[in-house]
Amino acid sequence: MGTPVSQNNVAREAGCDPSALKKSRFPTLIVEIQQYLDEHTGKIPPSARQAKLAQRKKTRGLRERIDAVLRQRDQAVSMLNEANLKILELTDRVAELEAKLPVGNVLPLRQR
């Protein structure tokens, strides 16, 4: 893509030393250059390097989001496994306590 326009680039294009283009010597030219820059700053397409940097930044952001989601998933799976283990332990405990209950002569009520 093109090089961004600046006073130094204009001087180089004209084959002059960039320091030769002084505001005190060429006030109207400097004003025209600044107006051009103000009007066309957003219209300059990004260079290939800038496009690559923007793509890397976007990719890095997506990678960070993926890593965060994977961490959340792993934490949720860990919590689920802990809950399942607790359920198994409590089920075994209930079965153990039910086995210790004395057999009584009381019959359960009929369900309606």
Any idea where the domains of the chain sit in the sequence?
A: 1-45, 48-99
Percentage of the chain beyond pLDDT 70 is 81
For residue 41, pLDDT over 60 is answered with yes
pLDDT above 50: residue 55: yes
Task: Band the pLDDT of 74: cuts 50, 70, 90.
Answer: very high
The pTM of this model reads 0.45
In terms of Cα–Cα distance, which of 29, 28, 26 is closest to 5? 29
Distance CA(29)–CA(48), nearest Å, equals 30
Share of the chain above pLDDT 90, in %: 34
More confident residue, 83 or 10: 83
Q: Are 35 and 28 in contact (CB under 8 A)?
A: no
